[in-house]
């Protein structure tokens, strides 16, 4: 019943769910392997490829708040991976470069991201993975790699040199491609989180849950919502509490299975989703313009 009600909007929600899921999984992998947050890791990679950029430029390129970037950069300085120097003209501005230790740290990311890309492909399957790549490029973001004339990206050789990994390795091109994929996912999820905060006053997880229920139908099983949104049961439970407190949805007992729970939007929740769906779709398509090229 729920599957039949899926729409193009539902497909957008499905893809955003995958991206949010893997962004979180990659962040956990980065933390476990390097003891850095995803934000810190993105800054290290960006500075490695674009040395001596101002902190404001880095924040803009990575779609981060200036305060978030400053705090992360401070942690990287304390770890000895990055240093900031005052601009010679504007003393209020600082430029970032990696230290020798920072550059020595970079090769660890090759294994982290290489493993992440393999897990994403295994999870999605080859066909879905190829579709995901269509969604991600050009992704409407400031590219991880410096743009050159005619919009060409830096070559694999140039990126490998900046990251201190061998360009001769057969896996290098895949790793570099993976870095771009992951950066675009991170950028896109952050952007959609901002959009949904403005549209629904919810973070991206709450928004996925609310829009997912709307996409699945008038009343749907909680397990169907979990399948679509890929949210963990504990996250769904706490988020449902928040949405219920705002009178946006309600939980119902399943008439055929007393152990199961169904959910549906209230009139207020349905109106909120309906009134913001176009803005949501427009923002998603700006982040992932390749979506329109896919045939559903």
Residue 188: strand, helix, or coil: helix
> Is the bond preceding residue 242 a cis peptide, omega within 30 degrees?
no
Predicted TM-score of the model (pTM)? 0.76
Beta pairing partners, 83: 97
How far is the C-alpha of 122 from the C-alpha of 129, rounded, in Å?
A: 9
- pLDDT band, very low/low/confident/very high, at 185 (cuts 50, 70, 90): confident
How far is the C-alpha of 180 from the C-alpha of 142, rounded, in Å?
A: 11
Backbone angles phi, psi at 246, to 5 degrees: -90, 5
Concatenating the DSSP letter of every residue in 49-73 gives: HSTTEEHHHHHHHTT--HHHHHHHH
pLDDT of residue 137 exceeding 50, the answer is no
- pLDDT band, very low/low/confident/very high, at 208 (cuts 50, 70, 90): very high
| Nearest Cα to Cα of residue 202 among 181, 233, 229, 227 | 229
Q: Token pair of 8, please?
A: 């193009």
Any idea of the CA torsion for 120, 126, 127, 131, to the nearest 10 degrees? Answer: 40
- pLDDT band, very low/low/confident/very high, at 141 (cuts 50, 70, 90): very low
- For the chain, the 3-state helix, strand and coil shares in percent, each to the nearest 5, are 65, 10, 25
pLDDT of residue 5 exceeding 50, the answer is no
pLDDT tens string 15-72: 888 888 888 888 888 888 888 998 998 898 888 888 888 899 889 888 889 999 999 9
| Nearest Cα to Cα of residue 119 among 42, 30, 208 | 30
CA 222 to chain centre: 24
Mean pLDDT, residues 71-92 taken together:
88
How far is the C-alpha of 194 from the C-alpha of 191, rounded, in Å?
A: 5
Mean pLDDT, residues 67-80 taken together:
94
Q: Residue 97: in which H helix or E strand, if any?
A: strand 94-98
Q: What angle do CA 146, 71, 142 make, to 5 degrees?
A: 20
Beta pairing partners, 85: 95
Beta pairing partners, 274: none
Residue 216: strand, helix, or coil: helix
Q: Token pair of 11, please?
A: 């497909």
How far is the C-alpha of 71 from the C-alpha of 177, rounded, in Å?
A: 28
pLDDT tens string 117-130: 676 677 667 776 66
> Worst-scoring range by mean pLDDT, 37-41, 175-179, 184-188, 281-285?
175-179
Which residues are CB-contacts of 119 (< 8 A; sequence separation ≥ 6)? 25
Radius of gyration of the chain (CA): 21
| Nearest Cα to Cα of residue 47 among 35, 64, 31, 32 | 64
Tell me the average pLDDT of the chain.
79
Q: Which domains does the chain have, with CATH numbers?
A: 16-194 (1.10.10.10), 202-293 (1.10.10.10)
Residue 142 DSSP label: -
What is the percent of the chain with per-residue pLDDT over 90, rounded to a whole number?
Answer: 27
- State the maximum Cα–Cα separation within the chain, in Å, rounded to a whole number: 72
Sign of CA dihedral 214, 215, 220, 225: negative
């Amino acid at each position: 019943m729920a599957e039949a009600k899926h729409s193009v909007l539902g497909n957008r929600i499905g893809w955003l769910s995958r991206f949010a899921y893997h962004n979180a999984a990659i962040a956990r992998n980065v933390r476990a392997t390097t003891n850095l947050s995803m934000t810190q890791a993105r800054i290290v990679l960006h500075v490695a490829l674009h040395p001596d950029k101002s902190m404001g430029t880095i924040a803009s390129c990575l779609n981060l708040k200036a305060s978030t970037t400053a705090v992360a950069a401070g942690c990287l300085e304390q770890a000895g991976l990055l240093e900031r120097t005052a601009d010679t003209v504007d003393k209020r501005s600082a430029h970032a470069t990696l230290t020798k230790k920072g550059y020595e740290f970079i090769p660890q990311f090759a294994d982290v991201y290489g493993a992440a890309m393999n897990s994403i492909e295994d999870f999605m399957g080859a066909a879905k993975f190829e579709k995901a790549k269509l969604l991600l490029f050009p992704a409407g973001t400031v590219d991880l790699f410096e743009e050159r004339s005619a919009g060409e990206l830096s070559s694999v050789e140039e990126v490998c040199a900046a990251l201190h990994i061998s360009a001769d390795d057969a896996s290098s091109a895949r790793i570099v491609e993976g870095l771009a994929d992951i950066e675009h996912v991170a950028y896109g999820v952050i952007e959609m989180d901002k959009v949904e905060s403005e549209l629904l006053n919810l973070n991206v997880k709450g928004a996925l849950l609310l829009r997912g229920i709307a996409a699945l139908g008038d009343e749907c099983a909680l397990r169907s919502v979990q399948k679509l949104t890929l949210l963990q049961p504990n996250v769904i439970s706490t988020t449902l509490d928040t949405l219920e407190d705002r009178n946006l949805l309600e939980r119902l007992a399943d008439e055929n299975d007393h152990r199961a729970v169904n959910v549906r939007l209230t009139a207020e929740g349905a109106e909120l989703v309906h009134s913001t769906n176009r803005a949501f779709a427009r923002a998603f398509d700006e982040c992932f313009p390749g979506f329109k090229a896919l045939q559903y």
